[in-house]
């Protein structure tokens, strides 16, 4: 009991002694510095200190420190010395180090100028002894797992110029002592859990160039002393809980190029002093509660490229300076209360790529000048009060997204829009447009979204719409379209959502619509359609939502789960629909098909139908039970992929134009970034580096394959959300998988031990299922071409996801011997050495290597040929199971050993030299159905 009582007491004492400790530390420092000249023993002391620290680190992480033996520290990797052999630099960035700093003897390095341990897995706190590094100029501990608070003793590092602690788990306040470090020029402490307010005394740091406090939990207001940081070029305070106004003193930061205040709780108006910032390039203020007018002269230096202030309460007119701001690239002011005549407020912007002014109060007519913005990719003006006609956008040949919905536009759609072949989202819905839809819309071959709903369009739906071969979502509802539904629509095979409701469409539904096998939602309600619902609808297996109400339809419903499960509302107000759906009358037996025949034939048909129906209901129930979860996700996926390229902008924003701090991996062919989109979804963005001469044809083939891939949904294939077809670095956007690659898990001792036999067998099964699906259930078959343990990702439950299907086709390996060879050395089939022709059997071979690797715990290497020779010569010793099992695991128990042996036998079969004698992925996947 007594000791329990003492604890709070001693904690209090420690707190009150804190300033005393700092003084003590300073005295110790003075004593240490009195013995400056390094003797032989000082050199030895440094070596010993480093070796002690090395010994304290997790020994799986030391492969890069293998040169750290003996005494010659100056020759060790990552170490730099001055001319008297004292250590001045320690640079171990990205060395895979795992451990803490607690055994690092800071006092042993009086000459250290730079300590860079960034991009490792160092955990624990930053020891207060860091204050001993009195010569230190650069301290970079960013991208680790450090926690606890920033020690006050950092304030003793009087020569510090760069302090970089970002991307850790640091908490607590900014120690005031830091604000005394007058030499500091760069502070990066973003992406931690720091709290408290930004200290007023930050204004002392008069040499600061960069200050990044973003994505912490700072509160309070921005101190006006920030105006004393007159050398500041970049100021980022985004993603905190800052309140109050933007201080006018910001206007004193005359060299500022980037100001980022997004996602705080700032209010008040934008200080007019912002006009003093002649070097300003990026001004990003969105997601606050800012009000008042936009200052008159934001573009006074003529350099402003990005101005975003969406989701605020800004009012008034656009300032005239923005009208003439030629440098603008991105302008986002959506969801404010801005007003003014859109024709007068905007000029011609040669560089402008992205404009979003939706949800404001702009009025007036759209000028043809928009067509002179040659780099325009997105123009979003929805939910304003814009009137007049739709311009022709003559020169805007890069336009991807044109959203003019929910305005007061009149007139017809100009035929010239058919020339905008880059368009993938055209939304003119909810206006007062009229006339017939020009057939030229069918020339928009990349269009994915077409929304013309809620206008006054009339005449027939143009049959040429089937030229939009990529269309996913077509909404023509709430117009006056008449005549029949064009049968050509049946060839729009990519359609997922088709809404033709509330028109005057008549006659029968064309049976060709049944070919829309990817259609998920079909709304034909409120038309004049008559006759039977076509039989062919039985085949629309993706359909989940259907509405046929308010027509003149009759006869039986198709045998299709969407119809069977729909509520009665979906069929109400028709002439005579019948069937087993809720609320409908049963059909008289001979209705379907209307054919007459002998009674016995009818009886047999009815009997067969009844059995089929029963099977269907059972299947349907199973389907619903197994897949209701999945269906929900798919739905989300659908909405998401609609915006395909739209996310490119979000990705640019989420990764701050591919800032290296979001980079989670770099390979020979691509860099991978982790991006959290505004929706909160976390995605992996793969930026491919394309070899210059890989050719346009190649790229086109790749592009079409990627499109196919983005529609594929398989449990064990990494979900591809979308891609952007920039010719030099196309982006692929995938689901972000938390666990890491199979390769990483197998090479990491700690992980590998936890990765047991059952999990390993399951991973092999998962990969086999994914490949079998792509080879045998897709038409045409899709090859991976680069299966290796790098491309297989595991989630936290060891579920496997195969990634990068088809990507290898586009990329050339950089090894000079293999110029036209796709794939990873050590995984590719031997025949690829003399033939360019890849087929399924090449994937099978690579799969065999991976399967062996999973069981052995490492790449089989030269053993592959050894195994092959064994299987050929009958005199050889049979392979002993224990020779190939990962020695880090205890041998598999009785119930698993059989499965492991099956995997090994299959793997050997896959490695056969003759491609024809390798099994197919389908056979393998079946063999693994234990
Ligand atoms: C900022 O500068 C002003 C005048 O130059 C000075 O009075 C004030 O003390 C400074 N504030 C800080 C926190 O350095
Ligand atoms: C935003 O500012 C307005 C006044 O301009 C105020 O009425 C409102 O409460 C503020 N909203 C938030 C969320 O702070
Ligand atoms: C189909 O469209 C009508 C009218 O446009 C709408 O009222 C109805 O909710 C839609 N049905 C479904 C299932 O979405």
pLDDT digits (tens, 9 = 90+) for 423-472: 889 999 999 999 999 999 999 988 989 999 999 999 999 999 999 988 99
Active-site hit among 499, 786, 843, 886: 786
744 CA → ligand 1 middle, Å: 52
- In short, whether 388's Cβ falls inside 6 Å of ligand 1 is no
pLDDT level of residue 876 (50, 70, 90 thresholds): very low
Sign of the dihedral defined by the CA atoms of residues 66, 72, 73, 74, in that order: negative
- In short, whether 527's Cβ falls inside 6 Å of ligand 3 is no
pLDDT value at 26 more than 60: no
- In short, whether 545's Cβ falls inside 6 Å of ligand 3 is yes
- Residue 39's pLDDT is what? 56
Q: Whose CA is nearest to atom 12 of ligand 3?
A: 547
| Buried-exposed string 348-362: b where 16+ CB fall within 10 A, e elsewhere | ebeebbbbbbbbbeb
- Residue 594's pLDDT is what? 41
- Residue 928's pLDDT is what? 84
549 CA → ligand 3 middle, Å: 9
Q: Whose CA is nearest to atom 1 of ligand 3?
A: 523
- In short, whether 526's Cβ falls inside 6 Å of ligand 3 is yes
If one counts every other C-beta atom within 10 angstroms of the C-beta of residue 254, the result is: 14
Q: Whose CA is nearest to atom 11 of ligand 2?
A: 289
Q: Which ligand approaches the C-alpha of residue 199 most closely?
A: 1
- Residue 612's pLDDT is what? 62
Q: Which ligand approaches the C-alpha of residue 208 most closely?
A: 1
- Residue 596's pLDDT is what? 38
- Say which residue the tokens 């000459």 belong to: 111
Higher pLDDT, 915 or 384: 384
Q: Whose CA is nearest to atom 5 of ligand 3?
A: 501
Per residue in 584-635, pLDDT (tens digit) is 888 776 544 443 334 444 555 555 566 666 555 555 554 444 343 333 333 2
Instruction: Taking residues 493-499, report their average pLDDT.
Output: 91
DSSP-derived letter for residue 265 is -
451 CA → ligand 3 middle, Å: 15
- Residue 755's pLDDT is what? 92
DSSP-derived letter for residue 318 is P
Cα gap 788→849, rounded to integer Å: 8
Per residue in 351-379, pLDDT (tens digit) is 888 899 999 999 999 988 888 888 888 89
Nearest atom in ligand 1 to the alpha carbon of residue 228 is: 1
Q: Which ligand approaches the C-alpha of residue 249 most closely?
A: 1
If one counts every other C-beta atom within 10 angstroms of the C-beta of residue 177, the result is: 18
Q: Which of 86-100, 246-260, 819-833 has the lowest mean pLDDT?
A: 819-833
- Please confirm, yes or no, whether 693 is among the known catalytic residues: no
CB of 510 within 8 A of CB of 484? yes
Cα gap 151→101, rounded to integer Å: 13
Instruction: Taking residues 105-132, report their average pLDDT.
Output: 93
- Domains for the chain: give ranges and CATH numbers: 41-194 (3.80.10.10), 600-735 (3.30.200.20), 742-927 (1.10.510.10)
pLDDT value at 638 more than 90: no
Ligand 2 site, CB within 6 A: 265, 267, 289, 291, 313
pLDDT level of residue 11 (50, 70, 90 thresholds): very low
Pocket test of ligand 3: the residue of 501, 549, 550 to mutate, having most ligand atoms within 8 Å of its CB, is: 501
- In short, whether 73's Cβ falls inside 6 Å of ligand 3 is no
Q: Which ligand approaches the C-alpha of residue 475 most closely?
A: 3
Q: Whose CA is nearest to atom 10 of ligand 2?
A: 289
Cα gap 240→222, rounded to integer Å: 11
If one counts every other C-beta atom within 10 angstroms of the C-beta of residue 22, the result is: 17
> Which percentage of the chain shows pLDDT scores above 90?
44
Instruction: Taking residues 289-311, report their average pLDDT.
Output: 91
pLDDT value at 757 more than 80: yes
Instruction: Taking residues 558-573, report their average pLDDT.
Output: 86
pLDDT value at 301 more than 70: yes
Cα gap 196→205, rounded to integer Å: 19
pTM of the entire predicted model: 0.63
- In short, whether 479's Cβ falls inside 6 Å of ligand 3 is no
- In short, whether 200's Cβ falls inside 6 Å of ligand 1 is yes
pLDDT value at 739 more than 70: yes
Is 731 strand, coil or helix?
strand
Please provide the average confidence, as pLDDT, over all residues in the chain.
82
pLDDT level of residue 337 (50, 70, 90 thresholds): very high
Cα gap 360→341, rounded to integer Å: 12
- Say which residue the tokens 């500041």 belong to: 232
Here the tokens at position 378 are 């997105």
Per residue in 689-722, pLDDT (tens digit) is 665 555 444 555 566 667 677 777 778 888 887 7
Nearest atom in ligand 2 to the alpha carbon of residue 291 is: 5
281 is in an annotated binding site: no
Pocket test of ligand 1: the residue of 225, 226, 227 to mutate, having most ligand atoms within 8 Å of its CB, is: 225
CB of 642 within 8 A of CB of 520? no
159 CA → ligand 3 middle, Å: 69
Instruction: Taking residues 482-505, report their average pLDDT.
Output: 92
- Residue 673's pLDDT is what? 87
- Residue 590's pLDDT is what? 55
CB of 134 within 8 A of CB of 110? yes
Cα gap 742→718, rounded to integer Å: 14
pLDDT value at 577 more than 70: yes
pLDDT value at 170 more than 50: yes
């Amino acid at each position: 009991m007594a000791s329990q009582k003492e604890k709070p007491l001693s904690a209090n004492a420690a707190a009150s002694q804190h300033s005393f400790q700092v003084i003590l530390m300073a005295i110790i420092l003075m004593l240490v510095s009195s013995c400056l000249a390094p003797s032989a023993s000082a050199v030895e002391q440094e070596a010993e200190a480093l070796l002690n620290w090395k010994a304290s680190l997790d020994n799986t992480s030391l492969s890069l420190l293998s040169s750290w033996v003996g005494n010659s520290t100056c020759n060790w990797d990552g170490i730099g010395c001055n001319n008297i052999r004292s250590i001045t630099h320690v640079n171990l960035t990205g060395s895979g180090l795992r451990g803490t700093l607690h055994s690092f003897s800071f006092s042993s390095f009086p000459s250290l100028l730079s300590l860079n341990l960034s991009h490792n897995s160092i955990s624990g706190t930053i020891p207060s002894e860091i204050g001993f590094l009195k010569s230190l100029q650069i301290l970079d501990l960013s991208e680790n797992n450090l926690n606890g608070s920033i020690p006050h003793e950092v304030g003793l590092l009087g020569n510090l110029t760069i302090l970089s602690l970002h991307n850790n788990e640091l908490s607590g306040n900014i120690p005031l002592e830091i604000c005394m470090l007058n030499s500091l020029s760069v502070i990066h402490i973003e992406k931690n859990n720091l709290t408290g307010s930004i200290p007023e005394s930050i204004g002392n740091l008069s040499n600061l160039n960069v200050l990044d406090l973003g994505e912490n939990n700072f509160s309070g207001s921005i101190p006006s002393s920030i105006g004393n940081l007159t050398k500041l070029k970049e100021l980022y305070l985004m993603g905190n809980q800052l309140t109050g106004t933007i201080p006018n003193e910001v206007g004193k930061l005359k060299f500022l190029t980037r100001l980022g205040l997004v996602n705080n709780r700032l209010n008040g108006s934008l200080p007019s002093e912002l006009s003093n910032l002649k070097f300003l390039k990026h001004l990003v203020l969105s997601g606050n509660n800012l009000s008042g007018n936009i200052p008159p002269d934001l573009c006074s230096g003529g350099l402003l490229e990005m101005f975003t202030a969406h989701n605020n309460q800004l009012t008034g007119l656009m300032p005239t300076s923005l009208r003439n701001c030629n440098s603008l690239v991105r302008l986002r002011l959506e969801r404010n209360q801005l007003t003014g005549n859109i024709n007068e407020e905007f000029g011609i912007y040669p560089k402008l790529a992205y404009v979003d002014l939706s949800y404001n109060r702009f009025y007036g007519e759209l000028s043809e000048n928009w067509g002179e913005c040659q780099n325009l990719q997105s123009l979003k003006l929805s939910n304003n009060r814009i009137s007049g006609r739709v311009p022709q956008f003559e020169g805007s040949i890069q336009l991807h997204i044109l959203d003019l919905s929910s305005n007061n536009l009149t007139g017809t759609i100009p035929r010239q829009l058919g020339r905008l072949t880059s368009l993938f989202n055209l939304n003119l819905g909810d206006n007062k447009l009229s006339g017939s839809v020009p057939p030229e819309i069918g020339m928009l071959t990349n269009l994915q979204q077409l929304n013309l709903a809620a206008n006054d369009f009339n005449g027939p739906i143009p049959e040429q719409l089937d030229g939009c071969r990529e269309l996913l979502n077509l909404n023509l509802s709430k117009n006056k379209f008449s005549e029949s539904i064009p049968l050509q629509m049946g060839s729009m095979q990519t359609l997922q959502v088709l809404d033709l409701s509330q028109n005057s469409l008549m006659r029968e539904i064309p049976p060709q619509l049944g070919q829309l096998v990817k259609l998920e939602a079909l709304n034909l309600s409120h038309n004049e359609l008559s006759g039977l619902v076509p039989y062919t609808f039985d085949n629309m297996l993706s359909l989940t939502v259907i509405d046929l109400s308010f027509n003149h339809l009759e006869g039986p419903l198709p045998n299709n789960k969407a119809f069977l499960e729909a509520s009665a509302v979906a069929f109400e107000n028709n002439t005579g629909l019948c069937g087993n759906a809720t609320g409908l009358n049963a059909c008289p037996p001979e209705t379907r098909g209307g054919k007459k025949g002998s009674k016995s034939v009818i009886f047999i048909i009815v009997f067969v139908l009844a059995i089929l129906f029963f099977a269907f209901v059972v299947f349907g129930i199973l389907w619903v039970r197994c897949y209701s979860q999945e269906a929900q996700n798919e739905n989300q996926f659908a909405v998401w992929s609609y915006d395909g390229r739209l996310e490119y902008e979000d990705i640019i924003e989420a990764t701050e134009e591919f800032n290296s701090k979001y980079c989670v991996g770099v390979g020979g062919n691509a860099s991978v970034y982790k991006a959290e989109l505004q929706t909160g979804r976390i995605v992996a963005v793969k930026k491919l580096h394309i070899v210059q001469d890989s050719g346009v044809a190649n790229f086109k083939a790749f592009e079409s394959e990627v499109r196919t891939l983005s529609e594929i949904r398989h449990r064990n294939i990494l979900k591809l959300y979308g891609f952007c077809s920039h010719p030099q670095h196309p982006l692929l956007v995938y689901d972000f998988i938390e666990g890491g690659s199979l390769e990483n898990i197998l090479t990491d001792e700690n992980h590998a031990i936890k990765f047991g036999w059952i999990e390993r067998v399951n991973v092999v099964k998962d990969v086999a299922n994914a490949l079998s699906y792509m080879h045998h259930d897709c038409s045409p078959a899709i090859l991976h071409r680069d299966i290796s343990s790098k491309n297989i990702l595991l989630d936290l439950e060891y579920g496997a996801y195969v990634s990068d299907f088809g990507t290898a086709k586009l990329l050339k390996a950089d090894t000079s011997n293999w110029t036209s060879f796709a794939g990873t050395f050590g995984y590719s089939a031997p025949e690829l050495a003399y033939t360019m022709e890849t087929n399924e059997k090449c994937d099978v071979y690579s799969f065999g290597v991976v399967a062996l690797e999973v069981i052995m715990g490492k790449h089989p290497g030269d053993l592959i040929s050894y195994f092959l020779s064994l299987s050929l010569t009958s005199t050889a010793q049979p392979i002993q199971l224990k020779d190939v099992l990962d020695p880090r695991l205890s041998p598999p128990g009785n119930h698993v050993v059989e499965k492991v042996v099956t995997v090994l036998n299959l793997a050997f079969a896959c490695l056969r030299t003759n491609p024809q004698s390798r099994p197919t992925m389908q056979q393998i996947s079946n063999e693994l159905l234990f």
